[in-house]
Structure 1
Amino acid sequence: HLTILVFVIITVQQLRDEAAQFLLEEAFLDLELHFQDLVTSKWLASSIPVDTICVTLEDYFHDYVHLRLRNFDYVISEAQNLVGKKYVSAMLRKRISFKTYEERKEAALKILKESAQIKAFFTRIAPKVAKFDSPFEIINALAEVLKCEDAEMLSLDLHNLIDKYPDVTQDHLTQLIALRGDLSKSEVRDMVTYVVQSEQTKNRPPAPKSIFSQL
């Protein structure tokens, strides 16, 4: 009987997961072009992408209010995770170039502002979900790396990033540093290689997977 019960529970969870994916699929298809606009030259002077993402998701979420609270929270959690993944992906695609530190700083501050805006949106929609597991802390950490002006501090920021998110890969770090635009390819490679190798010597307890594992 226990085996049957476990099977039923797993089946119900799978159905819930599939239903959540189905509900969110249409919403995120509608928003794909706006996600594509994130962290681009056009985005730098416009709040339209993130504003539209929040407004559109809220419209869809209103249609989900008939769900049981636990299922509603699960759908919102999945949506929050997807938004976080898509924002981080946009940062790592390097579809914008910075000629000066001021330009880079402006972009980093905009990213921090938008991260706070999206987090506040999800907090309003589902407070428990947003506070329990927010992917926007990762966006903030990446923005701080982007904003960093000093090369020595940059290395420290990378160490801190790996300490907090051990599943961040060498490719992720390389793409992030390349986005800065102030280091040559060889300098980026050398810095990332050094940081990753020095971090590998540390004995750290297992950490929960972050959205880096899903990128």
Structure 2
Amino acid sequence: MNKFNTIKSWNTHFKTFLFAGLLCISVFGFAQNKAVQSFSANGISEIIMNGDQIFNIYVITEVTETITLKSLSDGEYGNEFQVVSEVKGKQLIVSLKRTVLHETPDDKRNAHKVVAATLEIKMPDNLNLLIKSDIGSVNASGNFNELKINLTQGGCNINALARLATIKTIDGHIFVKTKDAVISTDSHHGLVDFPSDMLGFNLWKLSTVGGNITVKKQE
């Protein structure tokens, strides 16, 4: 083998090694933790969601007798976090918990920089739902008895009916599509747009500091 062939062969092996190394980094550099929980909704009247560190929360109600939680924790430390649930009386309490004991370079306040969590909830119609989150946004559709959402950074998109709904954000926009409701809105620095002929027995209270509020009527 001459010098040229030796260099060419070495370059080929080096490129193969480099590709394999990059592939390993892409596979092992970020971890995923997927989980599905499903259990009977018998006796449950309220779901309380502590959505801190969860980027996206999706909620769908349907005619069912079960509650299903589908979660995905992604990112550098994604495999160290998972969504956990606990039943207390008639309440189901859901939150994102860390499942390992050793320390990471980031403390809890910065955990969202290395963990990207998503949660999907499927639940029966006409239950109470309470959600609070520091960084999360909420998409919800269906039928609720009472709906409470309190978001620090995210916004929400709601297409639902609720006897009583209270939605608060700091900077996130609020979009609501509903009917048969009296709407109360308060945006300190944003824009408000809702139909003036919206009437009904349900009560919705929407407030934000810097976001916009948009309300549409369901047909």
Q: TM-score, normalised by structure 1?
A: 0.30
Q: Give the structure, 1 or 2, with the largest relative contact order (CA under 8 Å, sep 6 or more).
A: 1
Name the structure where helix makes up a greater proportion of residues: 1
Higher strand share: 2
